[in-house]
Amino acid sequence: MRTSDIRIRDPFVVADQQAKTYYLYGTTDENVWTGPASGFQVYQSGDLQEWKGPFQAFQPPPRFWADQHFWAPEVYEWENAYYMLATFKSDKRCRGTQILKAQSALGPFKPLTEGPITPKEWECLDGTLFMDKKGIPWMVFCREWIQVKDGEMYALRLFEDFQAVHGEPVLLFTASQAPWTKPVREANYITDGPFLYETENGELEMIWSSYSEKGYAVGIARSLSGAVEGPWIHEAEPLLDQDGGHGMIFRDFIGKRRLAIHAPNQSPHERAVFLNMEELMGERPV
């Protein structure tokens, strides 16, 4: 099937350079908002246009704690294994990010712990993984507006086995601190979809999503210290302001950076979009 045939939110691409294979993950349940949730699917491609699949990457085991809102899986290769960070929810427990493991990019992914690695009392989503220059793993995640009104972005240091956290979450910023964000549902500001990356000149930046004047959008923040802990400052204008978002960045097989988002932001019309990126003299990518 072609990219335009695949309904998907929150697309995430793993580019296997050795096998020349792209793996596409994302939120793929038929009803992503009310459930019941069935799992995560993955697709394979050699050119980002024609895809094989879907293959079942994750299916909840018996007595799995969550049954709804299976959202935004991200997959990373680390020490000969693959790790998935994904959002889950149940009526009895707060939404949170859980980490799963597999020996193949196709899965099957199995939970590393009995529940989310985010704080149990917090409504959280969209955990993303970043290895800093010292090789320390961090998970950056969102604390939801439904609990704090002004959505928050946090960093949480992980142990190298990804099964436990080191210390307390570090607040990086709130959604309203970015000049381009606009409130929704009265005075609520949303944080969604963080993804961290290093620029060609070694700066640490983050793309993340919220709402702007035109709808669901992607903005850029930059760490002044070059460390995950920040402080973080924001571009005045969003990178993308066209009713599409939840982005991530990957390199294609010719070494070019690509931005993956879903657009538009209306169900059931969401599709993966892969945009070329160019970094101009250390300025924000366009």
Question: What are the extents of the domains in the chain?
Answer: 3-276
Token pair of 145 as six digits: 């507006």
This prediction's pTM: 0.95
Give every CB contact of residue 72 below 8 A, 6+ residues apart in sequence: 9, 10, 12, 26, 27, 86, 87, 125, 126, 193, 246
Strands, sheet with 257-263, edge to edge from the N-terminal-most edge strand:
245-251, 257-263, 271-276
Percent residues over pLDDT 90 in the chain: 91
State pLDDT tens for residues 45-58: 999 999 999 999 99
Phi, psi of 19 (to 5 degrees): -90, -5
Average pLDDT over residues 175-186: 94
CA distances to 2, 66, 96, 99, 224 from 85, rounded to whole Å, are 26, 14, 10, 5, 27
Q: What is the pLDDT at residue 12?
A: 98
Q: What is the pLDDT at residue 242?
A: 83
Average pLDDT, the chain: 95
CA atoms within 13 A on the CB side of 4: 0
Give strand pairing partners of 173.
153
Strands, sheet with 93-102, edge to edge from the N-terminal-most edge strand:
68-78, 81-90, 93-102, 110-111
State pLDDT tens for residues 192-248: 999 999 999 999 999 999 999 999 999 999 999 999 999 999 999 999 998 899 999
State pLDDT tens for residues 83-129: 999 999 999 999 999 999 999 999 999 999 999 999 999 999 999 99
38, exposed or middle or buried, with CB in 10 Å at 0-12, 13-18, 19+? middle
- Cβ–Cβ < 8 Å for 42, 29: no
Q: Does the pLDDT of residue 282 top 60, yes or no?
A: no
Q: Does the pLDDT of residue 22 top 70, yes or no?
A: yes
CA torsion sign, 174 to 126 to 171 to 219? negative
- What's the fold here for domain 3-276? Tachylectin-2; Chain A (2.115.10)
Q: Does the pLDDT of residue 286 top 70, yes or no?
A: no
Rounded distance between C-alpha atoms, residue 129 and residue 137, angstroms: 7
Rounded distance between C-alpha atoms, residue 180 and residue 188, angstroms: 14
